[in-house]
Structure formats: C-alpha cells, structure tokens
Amino acid sequence: MPPADALAPERTGGGGSDPVLEVRGVTVHFGGVSALTDVTLSVDRGSVTGLIGPNGAGKTTLFNVISGLQVPNSGVVVFEGRDLARVRPHRRARLGIARTFQRLELFGSLTAEDNVRVGLESSIRWWQWHRLRASFPWARDEAGDGARATGSRVVGLADRLLAGVGLAGHESEQSSAMPTGSARMVELARALAMQPKLVLLDEPGSGLDEHESEALGSLLQRLAADGMAVLLVEHDMELVMRVCDRVHVLDFGHIIASGTPDEVRADPRVQKAYLGASAGSAPAAGGDV
Amino acid sequence: MSHVRLPAAPPISVAGLRAGYGRIEVLHGIDLHVPAGSVFALLGTNGAGKSTLLKVIAGHVRATAGDVRIGDVPVGSRSVEHLARQGVCLVPEGRGIFPNLTVRENLRIWTYASSIPLPEVEERTYAAFPRLSERRQQAAGTLSGGEQQMLAISRALVSDPSVLLIDELSMGLAPLIVAELYQMVAKLAEGGMTVLLVEQFVTTALAVASRAAIMANGRITGEGTPAEMADAALSAYLS
Amino acid sequence: MSQFLEFTVLGLILGSVYAISATGLVVTYTTSGVFNFAHGAVGMIAAYGYWELVTHHVPAALAMVLIILVGAPLLGVIIEWLLMRRLLGDTGERPIMVTLGLLSILIGMALVVFGENRGDTLNPLVGGTFRILGVGVTSQDLVIAGAAAAIAVALRVLFHSFRLGVALRAVVDDPELLATSGASPVAMSRTGWVLGSVLAALAGVLLAQQQQTSLDTYTLALLVVSGFAAAVFGRLRSVPLTYAGGLVLGLAVIYFGSYAQPHLGSWGPDLSAALPMIFLFGVLIALPSVRLRAVGKLTTLRPPRVASGWESLVAAAAFFLVAVACSLTLSGTVVGGNSSFGVVLDHTMAYGIVGLSLVLLIGYAGQVSLCQFAFMGIGAFLMGKVAGGGSLLGLLLAVVVCAAIGALIALPTVRLRGLYFALATFAFADAAYTGIFPDTRVLGQGLNVGQIVLPGLSFGGNRAVFLLLAGAFVLSALLVLAIRRSLFGRRLVALQDSPAAYATVGLNAAFTKVAVFAIAAGLAGLAGALYGTAAGIVGTSDFDIFTGVIFVLFVVVWGVRTVSGAFLAALSFAVLTHVWTNGVGLFAGAGIVLIGWAPNGIIGMTWLSRLVPHRPGAGRRASTHDAASLVGVVDTREGDIRAAG
C-alpha cells in the first residue's frame, strides 16, 4: 500500500524497549470533574500501543495533554527524554508528535491534497526561500522522480501519501465534502506527512468498513516496523487486538490494566470496565466522586 | 399556552425512521416499539446512532422519513420545548447541566418543565441527593462528575415526566456512582413512566431494563428480553 | 482639594454616561452572544423618534414612554427576527458583520429621514441645576447617574434572582439544553434583544437630552463607542464590573484632561478624546488568551476557485487595458454633481487596494480588521511629509511603517478571540481618527500631499496618476493571488479552518496572524499614499472610521474571498460616495442581510458562479461533490460529546 520511503521516519537503530514517550502521573481536572488521575504510561519506538476504555474514560483528554492542547494539573510528559512542560503545541509537533482527532479537524475548505501539503510543508520557515520557491506549483521537479514532468515534488509526495492511505484519485476533492472514513484517512496522511516520530491516532477506524479497517491495520504495522511509534485509541477491538504490541486500559481517568492484547483481554477488571460492574463490585481504584 | 400533559407512561413507537445531520444520514430505517411503562435499554457500539434516535424522540433532530409517536402524539409536529413541557424529559449525553449557573439556578431552569415551585423542587432534589444541598450556591461546572450527573437527573425527579430518555448516564463515572444513579432511575420508573436509556455498560443497563435492543450502523440488529440480549451484546462489544 | 472633588463629581457623571451604554451592550452579549456594534445606533434612532414626537407636541413624558416601551421593543423584535435568529451560536465573523451592517443601515436611514444634523437640541427631561460639593450639576446629570446605577442594580437582580434572567443567561451557553428544559431559546433570544433595545433607547434619549449640542446622527450613533471599554472591562458578562469600569473610565478621562493634558503642553496631541480607546486597548491586552481546542466542526462552505498563475496574469493585463481605456474616454464625464469620473476611478483603485488587504485578512485568514482606513491615513500622512511630499521614499515608507505598526498592534492581540481582535482594531482606528489625525501637524482639515515624482517618469496629468494607481492595484491583486496559491496562502486558509490542527502540524498560529496583518496593513498604507497623491489634499474626514467600517461591509457583501469582490466593492463604494452619500450605509446594511443566504458574497452566489466556467485542475478528476455552497457546519460525529474522553 504506502510507499515506505514516503511515510517512514529516519530509522533509528535501537529496537526493543525504547520509550519515545513517557507520561508520568498526569492528572487533569475540569472544574470539579477529574478527567485523568495519576496516569502513567509509555510508548515504545517502533511499536503500536493501544489505548482503550469506555466512553468518557479520558482517552482524548490524554491525547490533548500529550499534544499540548490541554495543560495538566500535575504530572509530566517526556518526549525523547525531554520534559514537554511549557512547550507549546506547534513546537511539540516540530519535535515529532503528530496526531489525528476523534472529531475531525480537517482544513475543510482545502482539497485533500492541500491538507497533506500543509503537513508536508510545515517544516518550511519563511526565510528558507529555496524551499518556499519549491512549494510553488510551477516549480520544476528537481528530484526528478519522474512522477510528473512539471509541478513540485511536494505535490507528488502528497499524492503518494494519499495513495498510501487508499485515497488515490480523490486528491482534488474538498476535504469537508468527503465521507467520514475518507476524511479520517486525510487526517492520517496529513499527520504522516510531517514525518513524525510519534503519531497519536484518535479512533482512526470509525467510519471505515471491514476491508478498509484491515488495510489500516497493515499500514499501522508497517509504520511501526519502520521505526515510528503509534499510540492508538480505538473502539474496534479486533483492530486493537491484531495490531497492538501493548495495550493500556483507561477507565474513569485511571489506568486499570496494561499488557499484551491477550493479557488485557483476559483481565477481569477490563471485562468489568467495558460491560459495567454490578453495584458493590467496583474496582479497587478510587472513583471520581 | 395550553400544554396538555401526555398521559402517564405512554408507549413510544418508531416506524421506518430515517434521520441524520445535514448530508450525513445516521439512522437508516428504524422500527422500534417501546411498551408503555417499560424500562427499555438501547445498546450498541460508538456511532451506532443511539444518541441520534434519542434526539429524534425528544424533538432535537427531525426525521427525514418515517414516523415517531409518543402515545398518539406525533413527535415531528412539536418543538423541543413544547415536548419538554408536555412531559418528555431528556437527560442528554455528556452533562445535561449549565456549568456557568449555580446548582440552585440550574434547578430554577428545571422548573420550566415542572408544575411545582422552586422551593419544592429544591426540597425534592436535596432529599434525593443530599450532597447537592451543600453546593447549592456553587457553579455547576465546579461539581464533580457524579454530582453533575445527579443534578442533570434531578430534572426528571422534579418534573414528573411521562417519558424519560437517558443518554449515557454512566459516561466517565465510577461504578459506585453509576450504581447509585441507576437506583434512582429504577425508583423513578416505579413511579410510572416509560424509560428509554442508552448505555454502553451492558450489565448495568440490563440490570434495570425490562426490555432491550441492540443497534449497529444506524439499524436495530436485535431486540428481546435482557437475558436474550446479554450474550448478543457481549459478542458485539468484545469480538 | 475642592478642585479634586469637582473633577471627581464630573468624572462620576461622565462615567455614568459610559456605564449606561456599556451595561446595555453587556445585556445583549449575555443574552445572545452577539456584541452589538449597532447599540448606539438604536439609541440614536430612539433619540430622533423622541425628538419627532416632542416637536409634534406630544408631552415629553409620554414620548419617553412611547419610544422606550413601545418603539424600542418593536425594533428589538424585528432585529431578532430579521437578522439574529440565524446567527444563534455562531462565533465567527458573521455576527460582527451583521451588527455592523445594522449600524450602517440605521445610520443610513437616519441620514435619509433626518439628515446628518438636526440643528436642534433636546430639552432635558427635568430642568434646573444643583451644586454638589461646589460643582454645578444639572438635574439631567443626576437623572443619568441615577439611571446608570438603577439599571446596574436592576439587571443584577434580574439575572440572578428571577427565572427569566437565569434562562436569559443560559440561552447563550446551551440553547439546546434550554429547550430540553422546556424554555424556548427563540423566545429567550427575542427577550434579550428587546431588553437590549430598551436599554439602548433609554440611553440614547437620556444622553441626547444631556448633550447640549444639536442632534447629530454620527455623534449619537457612536456615543456608545466609549462604552466598549467599560463593557470589555466587565468581560462583556458582568454588569457590576461593567458599571465599575464605566465609572473608572469616566474618572480617568476627567483626571487626565485636567491634570495630565496641560503638562503635555502644545507638544502633545489631544489625547483625552482617544483615552477611552486607549483604555479599551489596555483592557484587551490584559485579557487571557483564547484556549486552543479541537471543536470538531467542519466548514462546509465551498471556497471560490483560485485562479492559476497564467489566468491571473492574463486577467490582470486585460483589466489594466480596460482601466486605461476607461480613463481615456470617461474621465471627463461629470458624476454626482461636481466630481469627475476620473476622481471616481482614482478612488476605485485606491479603495480596491484596501479591499485586497481585506481579502487577505478576512477572506483568507478569517481575521476581521476595522482599521484599514487608519492605515490609509498614516500612509497618506507619510506620503505628504517625507522628503517634502510626493516622493518615492514616502511611498515606500508608507508601506513599511504601516506594516510595522500593524505588527505592533497584532502582536499583543492576535492571541485573543476574533471579536476582541476586531475590537482592538476598532480601538486603534478610533484613536487614530479622533485623537491623532485631527491634529493640524498630522492631517487636520487638509494636508497637501503633493503629486508623486518618480525618477525617470513624469506624472504631469491626472491620467498618468491614474495609470500609476491602476498599476498598483493590478500588482497588488497579483500579489494577493500569488499569496493565496503559495504555501503561505494554504496556511492562512488552514489556520482559519482549524486552529487546533494548525498547531498540531507544527505551525505557529500567532506568527502567521501577525504576518498577514502586517502585510494587509502595508497594502492599506500603500493605498493611502496613492489616494493622497491622487487627491492632492487629504484631511481627517477622508479616513473616517465609520466610512472605513462601511467599506469593510462592502467588501464582505460583494465577496471577501475574491479579488473581483474587492474590486466591485471599491467601484460601487467610490461611485456611491460621489452619487448618493446617504445611500452608502443603506446599501451596505441591506447587503449584509443578504449575506446570511450568500456567505461567499454576491460574487459567490451560485447562479453567478455557474456563469464562470469551472476548469478542473489539469489531468485531475473533478470533484464529485459539486453541491452548491452550503452555509454552516456539520457535526462530524453523532451526538455532542462535551465531556472529552
């Protein structure tokens, strides 16, 4: 599916347990509501980490904390050994954290291709004139990859990224007019265009049919194999169980279980979290009262 | 303004319902009968269309095709506020409160759909949820999640509705709190009303329900007694 | 000491004047979420209505009752029904444009019916004067001070101790939940507008009675502007804070005028007129930043197609040739009594460049600026002063200095919500117009700009100057289009669509906003310099803040997302100002009503855009979704999940 060279970040030699992201003791309150309580987890380079839990468990809030849209009341987020406190959202993105949104945040009046181009060109600063010039549509293709006689390399890359998420032929559609499933894939392509080291995916599978969801799973595994770290929030359990190396379970703001997909599935606390506990058999962790 | 209240505990009937938001259709032909006076649980995964169905019944979302009736009143012909004053009480998804208003001010708003004056509204609410009494002058947004949901459900407590629609009462709440809230729902149901609840926690919902249905992708995929639905729901969630 | 007491009493009375109009603004904002720029205009209409009744021998007290309890509520109902119902919950630029449109339509009507100045004064409701602490105070002053305090108290009680008041506060936060609770959001919104209109009318009549100058349409309509600062001081929500803000501002203005201004001597400009706006700017800077958040709403507005490089070059050349032909054949024609069509064409080009700056700002970046005319004034001033006037250096400085000032204004304020940013630009425009431009050392009644001298070229005739203006417009248009096609343009549009996603792809929203505002300011400065050199002599009145606001409306009405919209706005504006001055505001206001149905402006109306052939990108598949432009937003998920998770 995706051309690996277009999607992959620079390879880092190390394998094994090599946390690119560490979240330590993060707590978030909204007024009197505690959305996250003392959440600690890590995401390894070159792996797909799942984050599951019932609605309202705090998964999106955790994503917002990692990408900088939400300032936690306490706790730290460490990315590649660097404390991200006081690092603003766009700086975090430049460090290599990309994300998608549960409720779509597309650049709705731009085409699918231009959405991806904004991601591809995001590293260009205003003083880098040669790169600015290359972003113009009439620029000659200096890379000479033969994709098109004229037109910039960026356009070619954007189209290849879109093809990589299964949207070949949809480049010039206005993104807000696309069906939800396709729009989610545009967001994914835009995130990958930044060549991130860590990508946070918030329910990328919703709105996809069985076939597309399977293709998404393969894509995520390939990204991980190329060294990218993926943190995946997903309700499609089949997808989570198939692609994740580790799974964390979040329930009313607490991490209640972590482990391999099989371990987590067998955990009685997880069963309870998903199916609801009958009164009196609440988990040990203190609730949000 | 004549607001003839609906009869106590009317049945809800939905036939061939299609509805959605703008160009996106969410419900693709729903047929459902909620018997009079029952506690009916709607189960299903995220995005199945459960909330939308509730919103159609409460009048927030208009059907593009099909028919929805509460008793013999067609929902499509009434405004949301009209239905509310007639006795249709929706406790919406998220927190059905005004976070910038105090607890007492929220209760004051509830009196629009109620025939009883504020002091009695307060009395009933604080009797059911003593914790809210201590916080009556506090902005509702500063309450804990459980307290906010108590405040939201107190609306049903003070307005004596004929139909109670509850959307994800348990969202983001600890099991103990959820259990407490559902005890309140069960108590309310005994008082004579039709309850339709959307819930992600199968066990919790089926414990109070007298009947249940499962939704997937904007359609009803199964309907039956709680016992029949329990296994079906399990396989739908953790496949 | 006694002098201090005297100033204090005067300050409190002036503060009450500010407070009485500011609390009305707060009521409208609290109950509808709309900042009503037309608040003062409603008061102005009420004052004229009162005057009309009184001159027809209706007793003053009865006239007050009729105007405030019958006329004003009726106006409130009409405003809600005609304009505001479609905007409930809209936090974008449209509510700003609609109330500005209402402002201009009310002023336009007043100009047509009553003229600019009635030459009459209103008698105070109650006569007589008092001495308080040795200060002479009229009964009317006391009535106003009392009314301001009473209104503040009454509103506080209404909003916190009555069910209606609580529901009025609730309707903005969550109209859907209010309906679920059994109260009609539409009825609440209507009640809010009625209440706001009543307060505006009360303020208008009382203040018109107090002002011992003759009834003046503009003065009355913009009387409330000083109240903006007090309202923002109360965060547009708190009545007591707003009242306090009004009093503080009143005291500040009087103390400043009495103690500080004399020390500035002849050197300093008369700052007391601009003080409320400086206060507003200060309050805005102290406001907290807007929090970046994912809102999950997608614009479904279909943007106009962007012309390709070749297309725009060809169009630019054709446009230039037509402009030259027009100037050769028509410039002698006399329009509107005494102006020649040549002047109209000159103005069209200058305004056109301002319009282009607005395309960049509002159309691409979604930032509302109400101070482009102030930049024009600065541009004209530099053109007239630098190197003896009319020099190339002046032209360049006009661009550079305006861009720098623009960046300075934007730096502390781009982090604010769109409304507050618009207010900041309004504050700057008002400060420039009332405080700086009238100074005879700046523009005063007239500044001789002088004809431009460019090395190697002579601009002897008017025609040559026109060619220069037309050339500048064409080049600016090409620049704006090139920006839109470039990476910077994609970023601007992206930023407008989703600030949260913009940050999470690694782009700095604040920097982008400052940059686009500076470029737009530079363009407006260029326009001002050229306007000045074409006119020869310019004065403060050429850069009237209100005219500037109306011009923004013109551009929005014609189509703020397209270069052709900017040009047609400039042309119609230039023609109307020469042919039927009073009709300018009426046209803008009426057009704004239309915008509810045609968000891309007249240019973007579907029946019109069908006339323009749609050429899909070379070798590309055309969009399968060729639906007409749709207004509004679509939630991307079913349900409305407020608790994140």
Mean pLDDT (chain A) is 80
> Which pLDDT band holds residue A58 (cuts at 50, 70, 90)?
confident
Q: Give dist(CA B152, CA B146) in Å, integer.
A: 10
Chain A residues 227-256 with a CB less than 8 Å from chain C: none
Give residues with Cβ within 8 angstroms of C425, minimum separation 6. C368, C369, C370, C371, C409
Four-residue CA torsion sign, A213, A214, A216, A217:
positive
Give residues with Cβ within 8 angstroms of A25, minimum separation 6. A38, A39, A40, A74, A75, A76
Per-residue pLDDT, averaged over C283-308, amounts to 74
- Indicate whether C118 and C266 sit together in one domain: yes
Does residue C518 carry a pLDDT above 60? yes
Does residue C130 carry a pLDDT above 60? yes
- Residue C560 placed within a domain: no
- Indicate whether C18 and C93 sit together in one domain: yes
- Indicate whether C60 and C128 sit together in one domain: yes
Chain A residues 41-100 with a CB less than 8 Å from chain B: 54-58
CATH number for the domain harbouring residue A128 = 3.40.50.300
> Which pLDDT band holds residue C582 (cuts at 50, 70, 90)?
confident
Task: State the distance between the two ends of chain B, measured CA to CA, in whole angstroms.
Answer: 52
One-letter amino acid identity for A22?
E
Contacts of C508 in chain A (CB under 8 A): 90
Q: Give dist(CA C633, CA A135) in Å, integer.
A: 31
- Indicate whether C376 and C241 sit together in one domain: no
Strand B24-34 to B12-21 pairing: antiparallel
Q: Give dist(CA C172, CA C164) in Å, integer.
A: 14
Nearest to A55 among B144, B175, B200 (CB): B200
* Residue A238 sits at the chain B interface (C-beta within 8 Å): yes
* Residue A121 sits at the chain C interface (C-beta within 8 Å): yes
C74 close to C57: Cβ distance less than 8 angstroms: no
Contacts of B147 in chain A (CB under 8 A): 32
Q: Give dist(CA C395, CA C384) in Å, integer.
A: 9
Task: Spell out where chain A has E strands.
Answer: 19-30, 33-44, 48-52, 74-79, 82-83, 97-99, 198-202, 229-233, 246-251, 254-259
- Indicate whether C272 and C324 sit together in one domain: no
Q: Give dist(CA B25, CA B47) in Å, integer.
A: 12
pLDDT digits (tens, 9 = 90+) for B78-136: 889 999 998 899 998 877 899 989 999 999 999 998 888 999 999 999 999 988 998 88
Phi/psi class of residue A96: alpha, beta or left (left: φ > 0; alpha: ψ in -120 to 50)? left
pLDDT digits (tens, 9 = 90+) for B152-162: 999 988 888 99
Does residue C462 carry a pLDDT above 80? no
Does residue B239 carry a pLDDT above 60? no
Percent of chain C's residues with pLDDT above 70: 85
Task: Spell out where chain B has E strands.
Answer: 12-21, 24-34, 39-44, 63-70, 73-74, 88-91, 163-167, 194-198, 211-216, 219-224
Backbone angles phi, psi at B165, to 5 degrees: -110, 125
Residue at a domain's end among C262, C286, C310: C286
* Residue A35 sits at the chain B interface (C-beta within 8 Å): yes
Per-residue pLDDT, averaged over C470-485, amounts to 92
Percent of chain B's residues with pLDDT above 70: 95
Does residue A151 carry a pLDDT above 50? no
With contact defined as 3+ CB pairs under 8 Å, the chains touching C are A, B
- Full 3-state SS string of C243-265: HHHHHHHHHHHHHHHHHHHHHHC
Distances B34 to B197, B213, C514, C600 between C-alpha atoms, Å: 11, 10, 58, 46
Does residue C408 carry a pLDDT above 90? yes
Per-residue pLDDT, averaged over C19-29, amounts to 91
Q: Which residue has the tokens 């997808």?
A: A239
Q: Do A90 and C493 touch (CB under 8 A)?
A: no
Nearest to A67 among C301, C504, C622 (CB): C504
Give residues with Cβ within 8 angstroms of A18, minimum separation 6. A12, A44, A45, A46
Does residue C546 carry a pLDDT above 50? yes
Nearest to C180 among B26, B58, B99 (CB): B58
CB pairs under 8 A between B and C: 101
- Residue C638 placed within a domain: no
Does residue C476 carry a pLDDT above 90? yes
Half-sphere CA count of C351, side-chain side, radius 13 A: 31
- Residue A283 placed within a domain: no
Give residues with Cβ within 8 angstroms of C507, minimum separation 6. A90, A93, A118, A122, C491, C494, C495
Contacts of C644 in chain A (CB under 8 A): 30, 35, 58, 60-61, 64
Give residues with Cβ within 8 angstroms of C135, minimum separation 6. C5, C6, C9, C10
- Indicate whether C430 and C500 sit together in one domain: yes
DSSP character for B75?
G
Does residue C555 carry a pLDDT above 90? yes
Does residue A283 carry a pLDDT above 60? no
Highest mean pLDDT among A159-173, C105-119, C283-297: A159-173
Q: Give dist(CA C40, CA C17) in Å, integer.
A: 12
Does residue C382 carry a pLDDT above 50? yes
Q: Which residue has the tokens 């119902």?
A: C85
* Centroid of chain to Cα B63: 18
Tell me what pLDDT residue A199 has.
95
Contacts of B202 in chain A (CB under 8 A): 275-276
> Which pLDDT band holds residue A97 (cuts at 50, 70, 90)?
very high
Q: Which residue has the tokens 């309050």?
A: C283
Q: Give dist(CA C240, CA C226) in Å, integer.
A: 17
Question: In the structure encoding, which two tokens stand for residue C87, read together?
Answer: 């905007």
Contacts of B141 in chain A (CB under 8 A): 30-32
* Residue A103 sits at the chain C interface (C-beta within 8 Å): yes
User: How many CB atoms are closer than 10 A to CB C128?
Assistant: 10
Q: Do A276 and B145 touch (CB under 8 A)?
A: no
B31 close to B220: Cβ distance less than 8 angstroms: yes
pLDDT digits (tens, 9 = 90+) for C243-255: 999 999 999 988 8
pLDDT digits (tens, 9 = 90+) for C188-213: 999 999 999 999 999 888 888 877 66
Greatest CA separation found in chain A?
Answer: 70
Give residues with Cβ within 8 angstroms of C153, minimum separation 6. none
- Residue C637 placed within a domain: no
Percent of chain C's residues with pLDDT above 90: 34
Tell me what pLDDT residue C617 has.
32
- Indicate whether C352 and C248 sit together in one domain: no
Contacts of A55 in chain B (CB under 8 A): 46, 168, 171-172, 200
Greater confidence (A5 vs C515) lies with: C515
Chain C residues 485-504 with a CB less than 8 Å from chain A: 485-488, 490-491, 493-494, 496-498, 500-504
Give residues with Cβ within 8 angstroms of C588, minimum separation 6. C101, C104, C105, C108, C550, C553, C554, C557
- Residue closest to C228 by CA, chosen among C425, C503, C513, C432: C425
Q: Do A109 and C294 touch (CB under 8 A)?
A: no
A220 close to A189: Cβ distance less than 8 angstroms: no
Greater confidence (A2 vs C142) lies with: C142
Q: Give dist(CA C149, CA A173) in Å, integer.
A: 58
Does residue C455 carry a pLDDT above 90? no
- Residue C643 placed within a domain: no
Backbone angles phi, psi at C621, to 5 degrees: -75, 135
B40 by Cβ neighbours in 10 Å (0-12 / 13-18 / 19+) ranks as: buried
Rounded to 5°, angle at Cα B18 from B17 and B24: 160
Interface probe with B: pick from C164, C176, C181, most Cβ of B within 10 Å: C181
A79 close to A21: Cβ distance less than 8 angstroms: yes
pLDDT digits (tens, 9 = 90+) for A182-231: 888 999 999 999 889 999 999 888 777 778 888 899 999 999 998 899 99
Residue at a domain's end among C233, C260, C286: C286
- Residue A260 placed within a domain: yes
CATH number for the domain harbouring residue C18 = 1.10.3470
- Residue A44 placed within a domain: yes
- Residue C594 placed within a domain: no
Q: What is the DSSP string of A157-181?
A: HHHHHHHHTT-TT-TTSBGGGS-HH
Look at chain A and report how many structural domains it folds into. 1
Q: Do A105 and C303 touch (CB under 8 A)?
A: no
Does residue C635 carry a pLDDT above 70? no
Contacts of B168 in chain A (CB under 8 A): 55-56
Q: Give dist(CA C125, CA A23) in Å, integer.
A: 69
- Indicate whether C394 and C252 sit together in one domain: no
Per-residue pLDDT, averaged over A49-63, amounts to 87
Q: Do A105 and C643 touch (CB under 8 A)?
A: no
> Which pLDDT band holds residue A12 (cuts at 50, 70, 90)?
very low
Decide if the complex's ipTM is over 0.85.
Answer: yes
| Distance between B35 CA and the closest CA of chain C, angstroms | 23
Residue at a domain's end among C259, C286, C313: C286
Q: Do A55 and B46 touch (CB under 8 A)?
A: yes
Q: Give dist(CA C178, CA B97) in Å, integer.
A: 9
Q: Which residue has the tokens 């349409």?
A: C217
Q: What is the DSSP string of C409-429?
A: HHHHHTTS-HHHHHHHHHHHH
Does residue A77 carry a pLDDT above 70? yes
Tell me what pLDDT residue B157 has.
87
Percent of chain B's residues with pLDDT above 90: 26
Per-residue pLDDT, averaged over C216-227, amounts to 78
Question: In the structure encoding, which two tokens stand for residue B100, read together?
Answer: 């910038």
Question: Which of these ranges, C4-8, C105-109, C214-218, C374-378, has the smallest mean pLDDT?
Answer: C214-218
Chain C residues 437-496 with a CB less than 8 Å from chain A: 485-488, 490-491, 493-494, 496
Tell me what pLDDT residue C619 has.
30
CB pairs under 8 A between A and B: 112
- Indicate whether C236 and C335 sit together in one domain: no
Q: Do B84 and C635 touch (CB under 8 A)?
A: no
- Residue C513 placed within a domain: yes
Does residue B172 carry a pLDDT above 80? no
- Residue A217 placed within a domain: yes
Map residue B16 onto helix, strand or coil: strand
pLDDT digits (tens, 9 = 90+) for C584-616: 888 888 888 776 666 677 777 655 544 444 333
Q: What is the DSSP string of B176-217?
A: HHHHHHHHHHHHHHHTT-EEEEE-S-HHHHHHH-SEEEEEET
Tell me what pLDDT residue C296 has.
64
Tell me what pLDDT residue A104 has.
85
- Residue closest to A202 by CA, chosen among C296, C623, C185: C296
- Residue closest to C206 by CA, chosen among C29, C77, C111, C68: C68
- Residue C181 placed within a domain: yes
- The number of residues making up chain A comes to 289
Q: Do B199 and A276 touch (CB under 8 A)?
A: yes
Determine the structural domain holding residue C460 and report its residue range.
Answer: 302-545+569-581
Helix (H) or strand (E) run with residue A64 in it: helix A59-67
Tell me what pLDDT residue B227 has.
83
Interface probe with A: pick from B95, B171, B176, B187, most Cβ of A within 10 Å: B176
> Which pLDDT band holds residue A144 (cuts at 50, 70, 90)?
very low
Helix (H) or strand (E) run with residue C293 in it: none
Tell me what pLDDT residue C399 has.
95
- Indicate whether C170 and C89 sit together in one domain: yes
Per-residue pLDDT, averaged over C434-462, amounts to 74
Q: Do B171 and A56 touch (CB under 8 A)?
A: yes
> Which pLDDT band holds residue C636 (cuts at 50, 70, 90)?
very low
- Indicate whether C265 and C340 sit together in one domain: no
Tell me what pLDDT residue A287 has.
34
Greater confidence (C131 vs A4) lies with: C131
Point out which residues pair with C441 in neighbouring strands. Answer: none
- Residue C310 placed within a domain: yes
Distances C152 to A92, C169, C209, C262, C630 between C-alpha atoms, Å: 47, 16, 21, 34, 42
Does residue B43 carry a pLDDT above 50? yes
Look at chain C and report how many structural domains it folds into. 2
Tell me what pLDDT residue C46 has.
92
Greater confidence (B238 vs C236) lies with: C236
Residue of A nearest to B205 (CA): A276
Greater confidence (C573 vs A289) lies with: C573
Does residue C283 carry a pLDDT above 70? yes
Distances B92 to B167, B171, C115, C317 between C-alpha atoms, Å: 5, 11, 54, 59
Determine the structural domain holding residue A54 and report its residue range.
Answer: 4-9+17-275
